[in-house]
Structure 1
């Protein structure tokens, strides 16, 4: 049924030593010869008389060993990431997030006119909805388009993007939205911008206000999305974005896919 569908990949993968990650992943690769040697050693430990040369062409299986945090690449933050409680209840971890939150129709709110370091406010979201001629019903996944994904591969990706504010985050959640995505590195403003604002007024509320809004109202966020400009439309986007299950995890990697059946894009 999906043979003629249009599929748009909205993710960034896990890369070795990526310049756009503050804590880059490392990927150690085992080639096919090394795979034969490793498998032969394991069989030998089980009492089997075999060597790497006994495999066809002296080669076997390749694989990778990855060292990465769960917030590397495109990932979904669970409510537990924001704090131990959400709305007075124990915060859900990523393996507790309901799957029905992770698929549905998305709406893309374009805030690409904002500068890096700007805070995304409720009026910005209302204006983006007005531009689309769209009203939220509460069943949507909301995707924030900042355009920051164009900087992926550079250090500027970490610093040059607008971020959600507390009020804007709570406003979306109060509409019934459970999952909010962004194509920027982080959901909040860049680290240094939050630090500058904190130093200017000494208010703790300047530090990760959008994330910590999740302590008041439960929601999940998807960070480091990409390719929102490749979508054929900005409303009623059929989206599947289920995270990898990480036991008791604060986040899980996700590969969001927009799937438009033939003739509907």
Structure 2
């Protein structure tokens, strides 16, 4: 039996489980809110073209209005100034969109402190227990934040001092970018950086360091609690938008059962 036929049979039989890590995309999907004078993306919106009527008697279809970085989405290197000479989303090699993944679960810590930051020592301790981070793979950072995704206010968790969501320290972001073999970082929050990262030095270090190192971001993931710490494979193909800085994406995880 060929490798591909064996794979298909394993998916059909449930020996390989397919887990959807993608948040539904609708007008209710939370979107990032930047303060003035910065520009903001628009919420997702469908605009009906026809629905089995005189505009098109046998078909239903819509125009979609949204930003590249709405909902579960992929950050390409060109998204950040440090990666401005890097790949746009259409140039990301297809072979890098199917990769092993590990899950670092710090949901208990984030539940106690919404400003919790992952540190280098946290990752090294995880490696001692589970093995090295995957070469060319994804580090998926579980914080439990996906449970808030149905409510924009709770998801962004902002007050007078700004948003409060978990993330990664400056030192850890730099280390992940330069000293680990991962291809990218996946998170459950609205962006790869902590809510308070606007005040870090540099600001938004996950964007700055990882995208500047030709690595990628995945955001607004869900169902990470269904994945093992190691052994999953992630399939994350964004739309090949020419010149695009990112794209909504349907992220699937394959888990051997």
Give the TM bin, normalised by the shorter chain. 0.7 to 0.9
Shift of 1:206: 4.9
**What residue ranges of structure 1 are gaps of 5+ in the alignment?**
40-58, 199-203
| CA displacement, residues 102-132 of structure 1 (integer Å, 9 cap, x when unaligned) | 11211001121132123222122223334x4
In structure 2, how many angstroms separate the alpha carbons of the residues matched to 1:181 and 1:161?
A: 15
Larger radius of gyration: 1
Structure 2 SS opposite 1:153: coil
* Counterparts of 1:31 and 1:216, CA distance in 2: 43
Instruction: With the length of structure 1 as denominator, give the TM-score of the two structures.
Output: 0.78
Q: 1 CA distance for matches of 2:225 and 2:70?
A: 22
Deviation of the 1:16 alpha carbon: 1.5
Which one has a larger percent strand, Structure 1 or Structure 2?
2
Give TM-score, length-normalised by structure 2.
0.80
Q: Which residue of 2 aligns with 1:25?
A: 44
Aligned length: 227
SS at match of 2:63: strand
* Compared CA separation, residues 137 and 68, structure 1 to 2 (3 A): closer
Give the superposition deviation at 1:100: 1.8
Unaligned runs of 5+ in 2: 1-7, 34-41, 158-163
Question: Is contact 2:184-2:210 (8 Å) kept?
Answer: no
TM-aligned CA deviation for residue 177 of structure 1? 0.9
1:81 alignment partner in structure 2:
79
User: How far is the alpha carbon of 1:169 from its aligned partner?
Assistant: 2.2
Quote the residue 1:229 is aligned against.
225
Q: 1:101 to 1:169 in 2, by over 3 A?
A: farther
RMSD of aligned C-alpha atoms? 2.1
Runs of 4+ off more than 6 Å? none
Aligned mates of 1:185, 1:169 — CA distance in 2: 17
